[in-house]
Amino acid sequence: KDYPKTFPDNFLWGGATAANQVEGAWNIDGKGVTTAEVVQKTTDRKHMSMGDVTTDSIKAAVADTTDTLYPKRRGVDFYHHYQEDIKLFAEMGFKVYRFSMAWARIFPKGDEAEPNEAGLAFYDRVLAELKKYDIQPLVTLSHYEMPINLTLKQNGWASRDTIAAFNHFTETVFKRYQGQVPYWLTFNEINTGTWGFHETGAVDTNLSQHDQLQIRYQALHHQFVASAIATKQLHKIDPKAKIGSMLARMQTYPGSPNPVDVQAAQLEDDKNLFFTDVQARGEYPEYMNRYFADNGIEIQMGADDQAILAKYPVDFISFSYYMTTVTKADAGEQVNGNMATGGRNPYLEESEWGWQIDPVGLRITLNEMWDRYRKPLFVVENGLGAVDKLTADGHVHDDYRIDYLRKHITQMKEAIADGVQLMGYTMWGPIDLISFSTSEMSKRYGFIYVDQDDAGEGSLKRIKKDSFAWYQKVITSNGEDL
Ligand code: BG6
């Protein structure tokens, strides 16, 4: 029997962004302040700043009406440049554009009865612009932000009440954009909720490690239920549309062939895949029962929660892929990339931010996930954050980015030949944007350079990098000409 040698004809090539990293316009047209906009930037490249909040720091941030300390408030002003930006995406041949809708643009406080029409109208305009170029929207419902009011009022997802508020938002957008959005994702990188605030909207900075884990896994349980309810809503409102889960996939390798290392790595990997296990298989896996018991964590469930999870699993599985890690039973030297901590792998190079680059790992993980779930997969983030130099003649020669992407795309092709069903690939940050973890502008991912520095100075002019023409060629040749 023959096997697929390359990308299928309907493969969805494109790029991915998030509202709070590109839109800007944080306080106009009725938008409410979000959790992403109260976290200060940092210059420490190996440190994640998005968990460093207290109720007092949030209140002070809300009272501060400038964007000086909070670059996510300005993004790259996609709010006013979306036509120009989408035109550039179309020029590269995008089949799909992944973006998120900011809950607080539509429900500024998160729990109003009526939506903010100006917020809905903005996404009407974005969707109309995409349609003009036949670019299919892939919309994330929650990408690392929620209305800050819900944090101050009920500690975000730690409260069960947030489920109803979120599902009022999801129902509103499913109805409004019915027939226009073929693909939806519920929570971006849901597993990073175990790191806290940016995903859960729950302040837990001064709690013990046990109490943090307790609050985070409880918040995540509420997100699982909300995700299943959103799936139910979408299937009713827009039966042709599909909805997926989204995991920050962190393949980990055993630090040695010593069985205790192999076992430790297996558990570490399970703890990463736990989230997709729940969302795709519709139930909590047994290994987590043991983990919860061993760590004194108790998940409070509503009477119907397990039935809802079982009845409404996701249609497809998406994940981001940036790095892999190494696990040893006796943890040695740690790599402090902002996405994960784990042992150093001597076979891999790392980015300036300490992320270990592993293209072959993408093939491994695609195969493992396909074997485990047998649901279509979608790589919805992958890319290289780097310091790009704009040359005097106005070019950015980012051959290192081309090299990174080429190697990863080659491995996706191998995985497809291995038999993996892969729906598409949206590289992260097709246009330079504000970094999630540090809020730097100078950590750039794009095919399109944006003239703005870390202080927010610059003309916001869009400039094509060398990788722009390269990706255009990749899409035109459907992944043949790399
Ligand atoms: C993922 C997020 O974690 O990685 C994105 O979903 C983020 O929001 C991306 O931007 C890259 O991370 P960073 O910190 O380099 O922006």
* Residue among 436, 442, 444, 454 whose CB has most ligand 1 atoms within 8 A, to mutate: 436
Residue 303 reports pLDDT greater than 80 = yes
User: Hunting for tokens 């889960």 — which residue is that?
Assistant: 245
Closest to 142 measured CA to CA, from 102, 107, 173, 178:
102
What's the CA gap between 187 and 201, in Å, rounded? 13
What number is the average pLDDT over the span 189-202?
96
Residue 415 CA, distance from chain mean position? 22
Closest to 99 measured CA to CA, from 69, 68, 71, 76:
76
Return the amino acid letter for 1: K
Look at residue 317 and give its three-state secondary structure: strand
pLDDT in the model for residue 384: 97
pLDDT in the model for residue 391: 95
Look at residue 272 and give its three-state secondary structure: helix
Confidence band of 338 (pLDDT split at 50, 70, 90): very low
310-333 pLDDT, tens digit per residue, is 999 999 999 999 999 999 888 654
pLDDT in the model for residue 330: 80
Strand order, beta sheet including 252-254: 252-254, 325-327, 340-343, 334-337
Residue 16 CA, distance from chain mean position? 9
Average pLDDT across the chain, whole number:
95
User: Does 293 map to a domain?
Assistant: yes
Strand 136-142 relative to strand 252-254, pairing: unpaired
345-356 pLDDT, tens digit per residue, is 999 999 888 889
Phi, psi of 228 (to 5 degrees): -65, -40
What's the CA gap between 453 and 449, in Å, rounded? 11
User: Hunting for tokens 């420490």 — which residue is that?
Assistant: 44
Which CATH number does the domain housing residue 148 bear? Answer: 3.20.20.80
Q: Which is more confident, 339 or 243? A: 243
Say yes or no: CB of residue 320 within 6 Å of ligand 1.
yes
Task: Return the HEC string of 186-229.
Answer: EECCHHHHHHCHHHHCCCCCCCCHHHHHHHHHHHHHHHHHHHHH
Round the CA-based radius of gyration of the chain to a whole number and report it: 21
What number is the average pLDDT over the span 371-375?
98
Expressed as residue numbers, the domain containing 397 is 12-476
Residue 420, classified by CB atoms within 10 Å of its CB into exposed (0-12), middle (13-18) or buried (19+), is buried
Residue 341 reports pLDDT greater than 60 = no
Q: How many CA atoms lie within 13 A of 360 on its CB side?
A: 4
Strands (E) across 216-266 are located at 242-248, 252-254
Residue 443 CA: nearest ligand 1 atom is 15
26-59 pLDDT, tens digit per residue, is 999 999 999 999 999 988 877 777 778 999 999 9
Say yes or no: CB of residue 189 within 6 Å of ligand 1.
yes
Residue 358 reports pLDDT greater than 90 = yes
pLDDT in the model for residue 333: 46
Closest to 285 measured CA to CA, from 266, 262, 259, 265:
266
Confidence band of 335 (pLDDT split at 50, 70, 90): very low
Say yes or no: CB of residue 439 within 6 Å of ligand 1.
no
Is 411:422 a contact under the CB 8 Å cutoff? no
User: Hunting for tokens 């093939």 — which residue is that?
Assistant: 363
User: Does 169 map to a domain?
Assistant: yes
User: Does 297 map to a domain?
Assistant: yes
What's the CA gap between 482 and 320, in Å, rounded? 21
Return the amino acid letter for 40: Q
What number is the average pLDDT over the span 243-254?
96
User: Does 3 map to a domain?
Assistant: no
| 33 secondary structure, DSSP code | P
Closest to 140 measured CA to CA, from 244, 68, 46, 56:
244
pTM passes above 0.95? yes
User: Does 2 map to a domain?
Assistant: no
Say yes or no: CB of residue 199 within 6 Å of ligand 1.
no
Is 23:78 a contact under the CB 8 Å cutoff? yes
Q: How many CA atoms lie within 13 A of 74 on its CB side?
A: 22
Q: How far is the CA of 93 from the centre of ligand 1 (A)?
A: 23
Give the count of domains, the chain.
1
What's the CA gap between 20 and 70, in Å, rounded? 11
Facing residues of 462 across strands?
Answer: 450
402-418 pLDDT, tens digit per residue, is 999 999 999 999 999 99
Say yes or no: CB of residue 19 within 6 Å of ligand 1.
no
Say yes or no: CB of residue 36 within 6 Å of ligand 1.
no
User: Does 402 map to a domain?
Assistant: yes
User: Does 192 map to a domain?
Assistant: yes
Facing residues of 247 across strands?
Answer: 319
**421-449 CB burial, b ≥16 within 10 A, e <16:** bbbbbbbbbbbbbbbbbbbbbbbbbbbbb
pLDDT in the model for residue 342: 64
89-121 pLDDT, tens digit per residue, is 999 999 999 999 999 999 999 999 999 999 999
> Which residue, by CA, sits nearest to atom 15 of ligand 1?
435
What number is the average pLDDT over the span 438-461?
97
Question: Which residues form the catalytic set?
Answer: 381
pLDDT in the model for residue 334: 47
Q: How far is the CA of 437 from the centre of ligand 1 (A)?
A: 7
User: Does 6 map to a domain?
Assistant: no
Residue 482 CA, distance from chain mean position? 25
pLDDT in the model for residue 339: 45
Residue 282 reports pLDDT greater than 70 = yes
Residue 209, classified by CB atoms within 10 Å of its CB into exposed (0-12), middle (13-18) or buried (19+), is exposed
Confidence band of 389 (pLDDT split at 50, 70, 90): very high
206-234 pLDDT, tens digit per residue, is 999 999 999 999 999 999 999 999 999 99
Residue 383 reports pLDDT greater than 90 = yes
Is 327:255 a contact under the CB 8 Å cutoff? yes
